[in-house]
Chain A
Amino acid sequence: MTAILIPLLILSSLTFVLGLCILFASKKFYVKTDPMVDTVTAMLPGANCGACGYPGCAQFAAELVKTRDSSKTCPIGGDDLSYELGRILGITMDAAKPVSCVVLCNGNETTTKFLADYKGIKDCWAVKEILPSVKQCAYGCVGLGSCIASCKYDALEIVNGLIVVDSENCVGCGACIDKCPQHVLKLQEKKARKYHVACVSVDKGGVTRKYCSNGCIGCMLCVKACKFDAIKVENFCAVIDEEKCVNCGLCAKVCPVKCIPLTKYVMAPKKAPPKIEDSCDGCKVCHPNETGENGTLGY
């Protein structure tokens, strides 16, 4: 009996003493945190993707609470989250500009000729060390998917030897952008209808045509078709001026090689500003920091 009792006693007393130590330490060395930061952190998606420019959600929350900078946004949360954050922090957040990743290459294994029978390790960077690319085009997507591992949202996939972005899954965090040796991944603003030039080849039209039936040949048809002067050809490759472009699709219609594809994004419906009832007496409970007039909100 004592064989059990003695260790039991020793252990329970030890537990008690150590518990007291922990209690003391937690009181003595308590670090005060801003409850606002905790609240904001809890509201953020918690993916720690780094799209905001901070290492993780907690750091972003701390910075946002500290500076109350209305231009800081979480690209993943979008308009909804901005609205909520603004309400809690008592500031008017800028409208979020949701972005999404897009591939500037349209050459899959049926349209682009292959350079050689590559048998080495399956990594784009490893290919670039010994060959211009797996395909004859030295500029486009290599197609071995070095970028896929960097995506936390399962939005990248290799289809027919070409990287394809799932526009529903992509949140526009930009983690994949510098994982591409060819620099064919780019962030573009999300719009219901969005056109981009899916080619980066700077070879002359005839040369591009020889190895890829989908590559831009710099024929200038799109330039002539554009009514907004938003597209020009530089180094035998069309470039769209994002500011002038209205995404009408005239250029895509005339493109003989079909290298101006359309991406349709599902846009979250804009949240209507809160409706203010006539019975509002300006108690500021709904919006504590705003010193608005009776019946107005800071939106």
Chain B
Amino acid sequence: MKTFKFGGIHPNENKLTSVLAIETMPTPKLIAVPLAQHIGKPAALIVKVGEEVKKGQCLADANGFISAAVHSPTSGKIKKIDQHPHSCGKFVKTVFIEADGKEEWAEGLNTDEIDFKELSSQEKLKRVKDAGIVGMGGAGFPTHVKLSPPKDKKIDTLILNGAECEPYLTADHRLMLERPDEILKGLLIIASFFPKDLKVYIGIENNKEDAIKLMIAKASSYGFEVVALKPRYPQGGEKQLINAITGRTVGNGQLPFDVGCMVNNVATALAVYEAVCKNKPLIERVLTVSGAAIKNKKNIKAPIGTMFSDIVDYCGGIESGKMNLLISGGPMMGKAQYSFDVPVVKTTSGILFIDEMKLAEKKERPCLRCGRCEEVCPLNLKPILLANLAQTNVEQAQEYGLSQCMECGSCAFVCPSKRDLVHWIKYAKIMNANLAAIAKCKLQGS
């Protein structure tokens, strides 16, 4: 069975919610929509406090080339616009909408299904851009930018990412089971941007056998090939998935289109379908609510901007005294949260309520020089070297491939001394950015 070449780990899967159907969560009374939900510049606000907005109405426009629009997930009145905690850990400008419960769609949105073949390539791209679609696997790269690669790069392989290698998360798995036709149509729309001889693969990890069977049955009529992959983390990473399916290696500083590939997530394909065929902006997403400390584990479809506290209420509350750690995203790459007042954003693939004391009570010990972190690094880096350089000589860390690290956390997971390798690498990245900013200031000053 296929898998990627270097490194990787296989943590306990803990897919507790894989048999639970997706439930649609009712819109809560107060919705908080952050303006930065993607990589790139935050969107530029176009509404004012006190204004009445309809469902799907644009709240903020894409600001610059790499940016994405943000839409209202419900109809109601804008209560305030203020800095608010975001799941990235920082304060971000956020639009608070008081829902009126009418759920009225703005004009021309959420129409009956149309055939995408009637639309030109330009129109399709415009619809994707206007819908504010970003990569929903976690990174949040604006999809309209991805769909218009530089002219000199020829894309010959399109991959649908259904790997979902993070433990606990089952949102993509459920989507593939419940809405396969729409996902495949979305994939067809993405494929229609590229030449006819495009080879399309659907990569699914072997621990989702029902999804693989269903996809093989459905995809044959479209001419797509389903590839079953050996479960291994971080298979869902772009570079790893390309390596696993096509055998090509995305080198240092290269992007997937440099090797003629493009990878899109299952949820992104669905969003593209809804945007192009139904003119429906990205205002809701499917996410997994799991972990031992939440009473009812669920896969839910929640409006973007739903506070975590509302989701806790919807899922029956927290088991008293068990809760130890709140994570937005998967346990490997997700971020620990300090507040329940954080809203769901376009890239929130799950919310985990962890009870394990092990995670919270870990103690850092000196490095044993065992080399396990180097063995598991999917990018062939030397994590302990980078972490040590972060503490001694941050600039030198660049020479050892600091910027290539995707912070997958495999090294910190296997470290027998429980060293904070990923955090040190993140630290080195910000310190380098600071140094560069200071150097730039000095250059401009002189």
Contact = CB atoms under 8 A, between A and B. Distances in A.
**A complexed with B:** yes
Interface of A: 115-117, 119-121, 123, 125-126, 128-132, 138, 178
Contacts of B438: 178
A17 B434 CA distance: 54
B431 interface: yes
Given A123-B427, A126-B424, A178-B438, 10 more contacts: A116-B338, A120-B420, A121-B424, A125-B427, A126-B427, A128-B430, A129-B89, A129-B426, A129-B427, A132-B89
A120 B423 contact: yes
B435 to A, nearest CB: 11
Contacts of B420: 120-121
Nearest to B85: A132
Interface of B: 85, 89-91, 335-336, 338, 360, 362, 420, 423-424, 426-427, 430-431, 434, 438
A132 B438 CA distance: 22
B338 A125 contact: no
9 closest Cβ contacts across the A-B interface? A116-B338, A126-B427, A130-B89, A121-B420, A115-B338, A120-B423, A121-B423, A131-B89, A129-B430
A131 B87 CA distance: 10
Contacts of B423: 120-121, 126, 130
Nearest to B89: A130
Contacts of A129: 89, 426-427, 430
A115 B430 CA distance: 22
B325 to A, nearest CB: 9
A274 B111 CA distance: 94
12 contacts: A116-B336, A119-B360, A121-B423, A125-B430, A125-B431, A125-B434, A129-B430, A130-B426, A131-B338, A132-B90, A138-B91, A178-B438
Contacts of B427: 121, 123, 125-126, 129
Contacts of A121: 420, 423-424, 427
Contacts of A120: 420, 423
Contact of B91 (A117, A119, A132): A132
A178 B426 CA distance: 20
A5 B267 CA distance: 87
Nearest to B360: A119
A258 to B, nearest CB: 28
A178 B431 CA distance: 12
B428 to A, nearest CB: 10
A125 B430 CA distance: 8
A258 B445 CA distance: 39
A179 to B, nearest CB: 10
Contacts of A132: 85, 89-91
Nearest to A131: B89
B83 to A, nearest CB: 9
B360 A117 contact: yes
Q: Name the residue among B89, B360, B424, B427 with the largest chain A CB count within 10 angstroms.
A: B427
Contacts of A128: 430
Nearest to B337: A116
A123 B420 CA distance: 12
A125 B426 CA distance: 10
A125 B85 CA distance: 18
Contacts of A131: 89, 338
A120 B422 CA distance: 10
A128 B360 CA distance: 20
Contacts of B90: 132
A128 B431 CA distance: 11
Nearest to B426: A129
B336 A130 contact: yes
A178 B439 CA distance: 13
A163 to B, nearest CB: 19
B309 to A, nearest CB: 16
A228 to B, nearest CB: 35
A125 B424 CA distance: 10
Contact of B335 (A119, A130, A138): A130
Nearest to A115: B338
Nearest to B90: A132
B335 to A, nearest CB: 6
A130 B338 CA distance: 10
A96 to B, nearest CB: 26
Nearest to B363: A119
Contacts of A123: 427
B362 A119 contact: yes
Contacts of A178: 438
Nearest to A118: B338
Given A115-B338, A116-B338, A126 B426 contact: yes
A131 B430 CA distance: 14
A41 B64 CA distance: 54
A162 B310 CA distance: 36
A115 B342 CA distance: 14
A128 B362 CA distance: 21
A193 B431 CA distance: 37
A266 B359 CA distance: 50
A240 B430 CA distance: 33
A146 B434 CA distance: 14
Contacts of B336: 116, 130
Nearest to A114: B338
Nearest to B88: A130
A154 B238 CA distance: 48
Contacts of B360: 117, 119
A128 B338 CA distance: 13
Nearest to A128: B430
Contacts of A117: 360
A251 B362 CA distance: 47
A113 to B, nearest CB: 12
Contacts of B338: 115-116, 131
Contacts of A126: 423-424, 426-427, 430
A116 B335 CA distance: 13
The interface centre, meaning the residue of B90, B360, B438 with most chain A CB atoms within 10 A of its CB, is B90
Contacts of A138: 91
A126 B394 CA distance: 13
A117 B91 CA distance: 19
Nearest to B427: A126
A128 B430 CA distance: 10
Nearest to A134: B338
B42 to A, nearest CB: 17
